Amino acid sequence: MKKVTMQDIADRLNITKNSVSQALGNKNGVSEQTKLAVFKMADELGYKYKREIAREVVKEKFALLATSFALSQRSFFGEIIDNMKQSLIAHQAELIIFPVTDEEAEANQLPEQIMNENWTGIFLLSHINTGYSKKVIELGIPVVLIDHHDPHLKADAVISQNKDGAFMAVEFLVQNKHQKIGFLGDISFSPSYEERLEGYKKALQYYQIPYNEKYAITRIKEEQTTLYRTLDELDELPTAWFCVNSGLGFILNTYLQSKGYNIPKDLSIICFDNTEFTVLSNPQLTTMCTNLGFMGEKAIELMYNRLRKPEDSFVHLALATNLIARDSVGENKKTDSASES
């Protein structure tokens, strides 16, 4: 078996042999990121070096940035973060979380620690805004997006299969004999929500159900007052709704019951994401969901792949969704004329 050399490491990383030597010897002249990449590649190829140097030199420290609102959603994003921390234990690395306020996001103001300290990599969790995310990426530190992506953001990402998941959600409603199916979500907030609208439309087309714009609410804030006012303006309700997230599903369920509707006898609701809102709702909400622990693990995997191979093309990893059938979807027993409110 051929002996692994410094040149082999250099060739794999597309750097010079001298840079490899400097990194392995903890010399000045190469960045901490390069040192980390060299140690990772040395491990991968089986090159023998003084591992105590690696432990002293490279203190793997990752940052996670997310809005304060996202971090408050413990049953969803908390599960992702917890699994990320568990995955990093094996690497003896730490994850430091930075909440981003609305004011900081609007001003594209990054935390001082992000600007002034050395980071192995940065995770951007969920949607902040494109300008803020681009500013983080421009730092030149490896970035992985979690549960978010955008055509303008050049970084690795792990997301849900939004289009397919929405298709299957609407298909489940069709299988329960619903033909008048509404859409509820703000597609301007996130590309993920826009993809869920595409999946909704694709399912309607597949089952030869006409797309009805009056049933498609595509600009709506996730707040009770706005949603109630918007729904009050409808002169007719569909027999079932697909909501882009569980928060909207929860508010919708509350609204419909306040108007005297029985869920699911009169109207059915299905949403995306399995959060506390789905189980706090009465009845509990049927939902399409992603394995959140797996999403966290894959985010770490993408990060270490990027550290090993910094010049590789960016990867967007879409995880399949699963249906959790609960009590908010029932078989439609109404005729078209009887479905009007």
Tell me the pLDDT tens digit for each residue of 228-265. 999 999 999 999 999 999 999 999 999 999 999 999 99
- Which is nearest to 88 in space by CA: 313, 306, 301? 301
What's the pLDDT score for residue 236?
92
Q: What distance lies between CA 275 and its chain's CA centroid? A: 14
Residue 269, amino acid: I
- The encoded tokens of residue 303 equal 């990060």
What's the pLDDT score for residue 57?
59
For the chain, the domains span: 4-54, 58-159+290-319, 160-288
- The encoded tokens of residue 104 equal 């900081």
**Crossing angle of helices 32-45/6-13, nearest 10°?**
120
CATH of 58-159+290-319, one of 3.50.50.60, 1.10.3210.10, 1.10.1740.10, 3.40.50.2300: 3.40.50.2300
Burial class of residue 48, CB neighbours in 10 A (0-12, 13-18, 19+): exposed
What's the pLDDT score for residue 43?
86
CA-CA distance, 244 to 188, in Å (whole number)? 12
Q: What distance lies between CA 139 and its chain's CA centroid? A: 22
What's the pLDDT score for residue 56?
59
Residue 320, amino acid: A
| DSSP classification of residue 74 | I
Q: Do 147 and 79 form a contact (C-beta atoms < 8 A)?
A: no
CB contact burial 77-98 (16+ within 10 A = b; e otherwise)? bebbbebbbebbeeeebebeee
Q: Do 252 and 230 form a contact (C-beta atoms < 8 A)?
A: no
CA-CA distance, 240 to 87, in Å (whole number)? 40
Q: Which fold has domain 160-288?
A: Rossmann fold (3.40.50)
Q: Which fold has domain 4-54?
A: 434 Repressor (Amino-terminal Domain) (1.10.260)
What's the pLDDT score for residue 28?
73
Q: Do 92 and 36 form a contact (C-beta atoms < 8 A)?
A: no
Q: Do 157 and 316 form a contact (C-beta atoms < 8 A)?
A: yes
Instruction: Report phi then psi at 206, rounded to 5.
Output: -60, -40
The CA distances from residue 235 to 4, 65, 202, 203, 251, in Å, are 73, 43, 25, 24, 19
58-159+290-319 and 160-288 share one CATH topology?
Answer: yes
Helix, strand, coil distribution of the chain in percent, nearest 5: 45, 15, 40
pLDDT, one tens digit for every residue, the chain (341 residues): 678 899 999 999 999 999 999 888 878 777 777 887 888 888 888 888 776 666 555 568 999 999 998 898 887 898 999 999 999 988 878 999 999 999 999 999 999 999 988 899 999 999 999 999 999 999 999 999 999 999 999 999 999 999 999 999 999 999 999 999 999 999 998 899 999 999 999 999 999 999 999 999 999 988 899 999 999 999 999 999 999 999 999 999 999 999 999 999 999 999 999 988 999 999 999 999 999 999 999 999 999 999 989 999 999 999 999 999 999 999 998 765 434 43
The residues, any chain, with a CB within 8 Å of residue 91's CB and separated by 6 or more, are 60, 300, 304
Q: Do 327 and 264 form a contact (C-beta atoms < 8 A)?
A: yes
Q: For residue 319, what are the β-bridge partners? A: 160
Task: Please report, for the chain, how many H helices and E strands are present, in that order.
Answer: 15, 12
Q: Do 304 and 277 form a contact (C-beta atoms < 8 A)?
A: no
Instruction: Report phi then psi at 66, rounded to 5.
Output: -155, 155
The CA distances from residue 56 to 35, 36, 41, 59, 85, in Å, are 11, 11, 17, 7, 21
What's the pLDDT score for residue 338?
37
Q: DSSP 3-state assignment of 195?
A: helix
What's the pLDDT score for residue 339?
41
Q: For residue 62, what are the β-bridge partners? A: 95, 121
What's the pLDDT score for residue 341?
36
